[in-house]
A and B are shown apart, each in its own frame.
Chain A
Amino acid sequence: MVQYAVLIYAHDSAHAPDAPAEDTETCDRHSDELQQDGSMVAAYALTPRGMATSISGDAITDGPFVDSKEVVAGFYVIEAPDLDAALAIARLNPVVREGGGVEVRPVHSSFVKAAEQTAT
């Protein structure tokens, strides 16, 4: 099995700090499905572009690093036997049919601090 990162590109993230459950319902349901079928390794939903701060050289600016129509709204890591299988999973992401898209990239290596249960 190989790990692939799936980067979600959308106009913006639905996960505002105070977002009501119905705003994030579609994303959450898809995430649950991937957790249940065992393909999901890790997942991070990011807050909207308004929360982003970028640094380039000495300059600190408000907003996403790349000024474009889409931002990375979140990313997750899946396990799959090959790229075709990973693409088949990634294309199920609801964002693909909602005007956004996903980028799939093999993971080279990773690190996650063995946490004492992070609060969510």
Chain B
Amino acid sequence: MTDAAAVEAAIADTHRREWALVLAATVRVARDLDLAEECVQDAYAAAMESWVRNGVPGNPAAWLTTTAKRRAIDAIRREKALRSRLPLLLEPEEEAGEVTAEESTAQDAEALDHVIPDERLRLIFTCCHPALSPEARVALTLRLACGISTPDIARAFVVSEPTVAARITRAKKKISGARIPYRVPPPVELPERLRAVLAVIHLMFTTGHTAPSGASLVRAELVGRAMRLSRMLLELMPGDTEVRGLYALLLVTDARRATRVDADGRLVRLEDQDRSQWDRTALAEADDMIVGCLRAGPPGRYVLQAAIASLYADAPSYDRTDWPQILAVYDKLQEVWPSPVVALNRAVPLSMVAGPQAALAEVAKLEQGRRLSGYHYLPAIKAELLSRLGRSGEAARAYDQAFALAANETERAFLAEQIADHTFPA
């Protein structure tokens, strides 16, 4: 007998680390996402009982895979006559391998080490197919690649459970009904399709890093999931600079985790954060990756964003930040990824290089463009620039606008303080 608590911990750990691996291997046999998911869930449930009795196996992922695959084969045999669902499309050479229930855990362990990395990629590329809505891509990725339950996904994105469930069901239906192939796209399509995958992971991370609503600034679970997915993608596609760039960006951004709010949960501005508390190991790892990416050729969006974040983080103090260099990277970023959000963020280094007045002119242009009309960081940045110019009254009004648009309580509390400070300057 093994201690139930120890088994529970081992199961939780395997769930976090190996869910995608086990599911992807099972999909290959089940050829149906729903069936594969059910079988993997059953396998996790069976693990509890079996591992308490027999001990935690040496390779828990292989044990789970074998169990889930057996269940899939049984289910297919049982249901063969009844099944009317369309099987997933696998590439022809993959279909040849007949898998039997007798295939041993040892073989599964072997397979997990060699063949399966590709299987996880198929899973991710299918979840992030551009024929699915962006919301569905995120929900499906969290569900299938991370094994997160529908209620937890609903909580993370602050939408109702039925909404998430409907999104996932609709997406799965479209995958089989419209015959979205279950495969890694061929090289010609890869760059475009990879962008969609990276965007899903990035969105997952940003939603967790600064929660769009709610009391807490951070949704740590989402940040952790995004980091893990990003690392997994890096292991599977180590040669791609944008894959490396995204991972570096997440590392740098998350390295400031400990200092973004104070002991009372209040927002701390970048200039006031205690830099000695930043995760230097993560920053150094990211730095190495960014340098490597920049040497490898013309950088893409994520490499440049990572470079900017890293320039911010590497300065010994806020005052000694290399503003001209950051501004130069922003100019490059605008070339490869023209976006009003990038233009807005560029106003910050611009204000340090050319003064707040020049930056304010840029912000005014974006305000007229109206594409950022619901984005609370626009009036927030504008307010700060006005404040630096000593125009307190106007700053207070801009902070007011930001307050009205912001939905995260931590950010709102910070903005409320700013409104007070600028309305009644000390």
Contact = CB atoms under 8 A, between A and B. Distances in A.
A84 B178 contact: no
Contact of A106 (B89, B177, B181, B185): B177
Contacts of B89: 81-82
Contacts of A87: 131
A96 to B, nearest CB: 15
A6 to B, nearest CB: 13
Nearest to B182: A82
Interface residues of B, number: 9
B195 interface: no
B129 to A, nearest CB: 8
Contacts of B181: 81-84
Nearest to B175: A83
Interface size class of A (residues with CB under 8 A): under 10
Contacts of A83: 131, 178-181
B98 interface: no
A2 interface: yes
Contacts of A2: 179
A84 B179 CA distance: 8
A83 B177 CA distance: 10
Interface string A74-99: 00000001111001000000000000
A106 B180 contact: no
B3 interface: no
Interface in B6-42: none
Interface in A43-84: 81-84
A84 B177 contact: no
Contacts of B185: 84
A2 B185 CA distance: 19
Interface in A1-17: 2
B180 A82 contact: yes
22 contacts: A2-B179, A81-B89, A81-B179, A81-B181, A82-B89, A82-B179, A82-B180, A82-B181, A83-B131, A83-B178, A83-B179, A83-B180, A83-B181, A84-B180, A84-B181, A84-B185, A84-B189, A87-B131, A105-B178, A106-B177, A106-B178, A106-B179
Interface of B: 89, 131, 177-181, 185, 189
